Amino acid sequence: MNRLIIFLVLSGISGLSFGQEKWDLRKCVDYALENNITIKQQDIQAQIAELTYRQSDLSKFPSFNFSTNLSMNTGRSIDRTTNLYTTQSVINNYFSLQSNFDLFNFFNKTNTIAGNKLEAEAASATVQKVKDDVGLNVAAAFLQALLAKEQVNASKIQIELTTAQLENTRKLVRAGSLPELNLLQIESQLANDSSTLISAVGTETQSMLLLKALLNLDAGLAFDIETPPIELIPIDPIAELQPEAVYLLAIKNLPQQRVNQLRLDAARKFASAAKGAMYPSIGVGFSLGSNYSNLKSNPSLISSSATGLDTIGHVYGSNVPVVVPVYDKIYKVDASPYWTQVSDNFSNAVGFGINVPIFNGGSAKIYWQKQKLNVKNLSLQQELDNKSLKQDIYKAYTDAMTALQKFNASTKAVETAQKAYDFSSKRYTVGLLSTIDLLINQNNLFRAKIDRLSAQYSYVFKIKVLEYYRGQGIKL
């Protein structure tokens, strides 16, 4: 029965990765950076910030707007060509081109543009910060999965060892050198080892599911990772990762610190812009325009003939009349051509304006005060983040030192446990040691190996965290 359980467990483990392409850490990180939803969302925010900056930068140029209107009036309406009422149908067409430009506004617009540029840079740095966080999380999950695989392998070796002991004990029992109880105790140990292996496989499965989630992979997708020997993973000596030196580099290199500084600089620019908005602004504008009306006529003289004289007055101081000839004139009235009207009615205007804020419910001043408080808040946040960063670096260094000490201690424990097991195994074979004592030494060796693996992987990860803080990125 025990052999059947072991066979099924080991078959299940080997079947999980058969025929699969194995991913290394670099491939995992690259895939996560391309497919992580949080990164995509932050990248969209960065694009929005860049568009906001571009729009504000274009606002420093004059604005141009063209408008036109075509209308038809029926019934009683005003003839715009004579300013008299008419009952004819009137068709009017208007054109207008306007432009406005701020000559001076106490650097309100300049500071706003500078602030938006800094915000765009901060958003871009935030994308890099999120990428680094994702990379660090993937590396942590990758190492955790490696540890889980190593624990599975250690459990399999433990089963092989117990199985060998079982076969040896069975032979000794058959030969009459050991009692039946010894065989039962070994079989019980094999069942416990099988249970430990099943738990290790479950832990490995959970670790792989977590890694899949970070990579945004479907949970049901066949997936496996490369398992480089932990001893071959390059790490810097801990003596080269002194926390104070790492902190000084982290302040310069980490994206989050750059984000904090850029947002603080942007807030200062926005505060200056808000202050400038409380002062007068000077602007200039000009416009061009023309219009057309279908009622506009263009009379032309066809003929003119004198029909008599008309008295228009008398010579001063006498009764001598002053007369002028009277003409009978015939006119031809034609509609004024469209483009002739547009040309004749063309007009332009230029104007200067001054806008002086006097009282607007205190909005300008209060907005300036809010911006100044925002500067103080971001400055405090920067100080807080720097302190937290320093604490994290010192903690990572302390954790690395602790993990190194645990690894050294567990290495000695493995050596001692191995010697104790080898010696007890020989004594057990000749009947000088009980089965219980043999199993105690065997379990001590197994636990020592597991403890060494945990300490070793913990040390590697802590060193990788310190390397990340120093600006070296994440690599195995």
Q: Express each pLDDT in 317-350 by its tens digit.
A: 788 888 888 877 776 667 788 888 888 889 999 9
Question: If you search the block for the tokens 């932050």, which residue do you land on?
Answer: 42
Q: What pLDDT is attached to residue 18?
A: 43
Cα(462)–Cα(243) distance, rounded to whole angstroms? Answer: 12
Segment 425-440 mean pLDDT: 86
- Average pLDDT in the chain: 88
Least confident of 93-97, 125-129, 194-198, 300-304: 300-304
pLDDT per residue over 353-405, tens digit each?
999 888 888 889 999 999 999 999 999 999 999 999 999 999 999 999 999 99
pLDDT at 5: 47
pLDDT number for residue 124: 96
Q: What is the pLDDT of residues 293-317, one digit of tens each?
A: 888 877 767 777 777 777 888 777 7
Number of C-alpha atoms within 13 angstroms, CB side, residue 173?
15
Rounded distance, CA 125 to CA 121, Å?
6
pLDDT at 293: 87
Closest to 397 measured CA to CA, from 243, 205, 196: 243
Domain ranges of the chain: 2-61+101-279+336-345+365-469, 62-100, 297-335
Class of the 2-61+101-279+336-345+365-469 domain?
mainly alpha
The rounded Cα 34 to chain-centroid distance in angstroms is 12
Q: Is 155 helix (H, G, I), strand (E, B) or coil?
A: helix
Q: What is the pLDDT of residues 35-69, one digit of tens each?
A: 999 999 999 999 999 999 999 999 989 999 999 99
What CA–CA distance (Å, rounded) separates 174 from 109?
A: 97
| pLDDT tens digits, 168-192 | 889 888 988 888 898 899 899 999 9
